[in-house]
Amino acid sequence: MDITELTVHELQEKIKNKELTIMQINEAYVNRIKEKEPEVQAFITELTEQGIEQAKQIQNRIDNGEKVGDLAGIPIGIKDIICTKGVKTTCASKMLEKFIAPYDATVMEKINAEEMIDLGKLNMDEFAMGGSTEYSYFKKTRNPWDLSRVPGGSSGGSAAAVSANMVPWALGTDTGGSIRQPAALCGVVGLKPTYGLVSRYGVVAFASSLDQVGVFTKDVQDCAILLNVIAGYDEKDTTSVDVGQKDYTKSLQKDIKGLKIGVPKEFYGEGINSEVKASLETAIAKYKEMGAEVEEFSLDIAKYALATYYIIACAEASSNLGRYDGIRYTYRAPEAKTLKEIYKKSRSEAFGAEVKRRIILGTYVLSSGYYDAYYKKAQQVRTLVMNEFNKAFEKYDVIVTPTSPTTAFKLGSKSNNPMEMYLADICTVSVNIAGLPGISVPCGVDSEGMPIGMQIIGNKFCEETIIKTAYAYEQETKFREKYKPTFKK
């Protein structure tokens, strides 16, 4: 038995039956990290030593007959955008290379309260801006299915680490697709909850009105378990919403008879790879077979979503990233003498090209004289996008689309072409614009063996419905039993 192949619910089962100890599990993962990290490059900060220490303590308590929580001692990986007290949180930027938060993000407090073991901080595109994790200041993470390809982004480290069995699950963030797209490209499950379901406190802001913390897991059941941990109103985040305590594992049901699935034709047209499209069509046929009612419809407004997204996200980012000014906890250009030099040189030297590009874009769209034409217009379109989705959800329980227009692309193939990189978000951004929940589940592989993801979109705070839809499909098709990452060189 390879411990690191197991899902968390399988680990829990084996811990309960005394087939596995917390120590065995953590040692297995630490060994796996040692083995695979040199080729995958998913970690910015490894916490394996501390992890083993923590595992020992929990194991001791168990050995002494103490009762611990269901998730105590289960390893996890954390995207390096989520603040962890006493451990570096770099956002994969030179700017925050030495930043150690004196506080935990609210989601981290929840993870810690469960006594899960954080095995490390995971790589990402700098400040979550990008779709390939190539824009990390520190390293380029590889796709475990083919090491010459990207894992997607921005949460590429999280997706690759779960896919490569270096952690059983991980946290990521999703502003325009940063969980779902890398989950699709790495063949794992990725969930972006409804905006407001999970606290953003302590999560370094990229675009405040779009950012949301979510999960990467090996299967849908784990996804429900981890969502149970992180969801919930937080008084420190006034944009979080109190929808009461829910148990998402109750949605793990196979029966989807009568489920109404909407298929928006705009997501299957131009720019979508034909193999991706074919795979989705097969998945949709499967749903019909399982008793779902499928209907094609038009979500016309979606074609404006990408432009709207880049205006709003960049505008907010340009403001959110102003605090990295070389004055306090950030990088400061050593030779800067005057205040202006501190600002100019520190920001010029410590931000990468993509971050600068977005700051400039965002600053431009908020400038007087341009605000109405860009930012205000984008907000108006945003309202229209929400309205269109609202209308769709009057008819359908879920909307099914590809997660990414293509499978994982080669490293370096898009990193110098920002427009092409932005198009990688075309299937996911409208979900953020509308603040909806979306899950990506693997639904097949292309002719080169690269995984394809299916995105299931739900109405606001209807995570139960998308989890159920995803679970039913997963149980029917058993992707994980058929395909595995091959670490192809």
Partner 1 sequence: MAREDYEVVMGLEVHAELSTKTKIFCSCPTKFGAKPNTQVCPICMAMPGTLPTLNEKVVEYAVKAGLATNCEISRNSKNDRKNYFYPDLPKAYQISQYDKPLCEHGYIEIETSKGKKKIGITRIHIEEDAGKLDHDDLSGGALVDLNRAGVPLIEIVSEPDFRSVEEVDSYLKKLKSILEYIEVSDCKMQEGSYRADVNTSIRPIGSQKLGTRTEMKNMNSFRSITRALEYEIGRQVDILDNGGTVEQETLRWDEVSGKTFSMRDKEDAQDYRYFPEPDLVAIKLSEEYIENIRKTLPEMPESRKQRYLNDYKLSEKDAGIITSSKYLSDLFEKAGEICGNYKAVNNWIISDISRILNETEMDPIEIPFDAKQLAKLVTLIDKGTISSSIGKKVLEELFENPRDPEDIIKEKGWIQISDESAIKEIVQKIIEANPQSVTDYKGGKDRALGFLVGQAMKETKGKANPQLLNKLFIEELNK
Residues of this chain that bind partner 1 (CB under 8 A): 82-83, 89, 91, 96, 99, 101-103, 105, 200-205, 207-209, 235-239, 315-316, 318-319, 322-323, 325, 327-329, 339, 343, 363, 366-368, 371, 375
Report the amino acid identity of residue 379: Q
Is 79 among the catalytic positions? yes
347 forms beta bridges with none
Nearest CA-CA partner of 79 in 194, 180, 204: 204
Q: Coil, strand, or helix at residue 283?
A: helix
Active-site hit among 93, 132, 136, 154: 154
Q: Could you tell me the two tokens for 202?
A: 């302590």
Contact 151/186 with Cβ under 8 angstroms?
Answer: yes
Q: How far is the CB of 366 from partner 1 (least distance, A)?
A: 4
Contact 441/189 with Cβ under 8 angstroms?
Answer: yes
Residues 422 and 265: their CA atoms lie apart, in Å, by: 21
Q: How far is the CB of 198 from partner 1 (least distance, A)?
A: 13
Q: How far is the CB of 245 from partner 1 (least distance, A)?
A: 22
Judged by beta carbon, residue 147 or residue 213, the one nearer partner 1 is 213
Judged by beta carbon, residue 88 or residue 488, the one nearer partner 1 is 88
Active-site hit among 93, 132, 158, 178: 178
The single residue listed with the structure tokens 């590009």 is 357
Classify residue 336 as exposed, middle or buried by CB count within 10 Å of its CB (0-12, 13-18, 19+).
middle
Q: How far is the CB of 414 from partner 1 (least distance, A)?
A: 28
Judged by beta carbon, residue 3 or residue 205, the one nearer partner 1 is 205
Torsion of CA 131, 137, 139, 141, to 10 degrees: -10
Judged by beta carbon, residue 201 or residue 473, the one nearer partner 1 is 201
Residues 442 and 480: their CA atoms lie apart, in Å, by: 9
Q: Which residues contact 181 (CB under 8 A, 6 or more apart)?
A: 131, 152, 153, 403, 404, 424, 425, 427, 428, 440, 453
Active-site hit among 79, 94, 110, 468: 79
The single residue listed with the structure tokens 């270096």 is 166
Judged by beta carbon, residue 64 or residue 338, the one nearer partner 1 is 338
Q: Could you tell me the two tokens for 8?
A: 């968390």
Q: Which residues contact 279 (CB under 8 A, 6 or more apart)?
A: 443, 444, 445, 446, 452, 454
Q: How far is the CB of 93 from partner 1 (least distance, A)?
A: 10
Is 154 among the catalytic positions? yes
Q: Residue 312: enclosing H or E segment and its boundaries?
A: helix 305-320
Judged by beta carbon, residue 27 or residue 237, the one nearer partner 1 is 237
Q: How far is the CB of 90 from partner 1 (least distance, A)?
A: 10
The single residue listed with the structure tokens 């083993």 is 52
What would the 3-class secondary structure string for 116-165 be? CEEEEEECCCHHHCCCCCCCCCCCCCCECCECCECCCCCCHHHHHHHHCC
Classify residue 217 as exposed, middle or buried by CB count within 10 Å of its CB (0-12, 13-18, 19+).
buried
Is the C-alpha dihedral spanning 289, 456, 216, 419 positive or negative?
Answer: positive
Q: How far is the CB of 22 from partner 1 (least distance, A)?
A: 30
Residues 330 and 109: their CA atoms lie apart, in Å, by: 24
Classify residue 440 as exposed, middle or buried by CB count within 10 Å of its CB (0-12, 13-18, 19+).
buried
Judged by beta carbon, residue 90 or residue 143, the one nearer partner 1 is 90
Q: How far is the CB of 297 from partner 1 (least distance, A)?
A: 30
Q: How far is the CB of 209 from partner 1 (least distance, A)?
A: 4
Judged by beta carbon, residue 260 or residue 344, the one nearer partner 1 is 344
Residues 95 and 78: their CA atoms lie apart, in Å, by: 19
Is 178 among the catalytic positions? yes
Judged by beta carbon, residue 237 or residue 446, the one nearer partner 1 is 237
User: Which residues are designated catalytic?
Assistant: 79, 154, 178
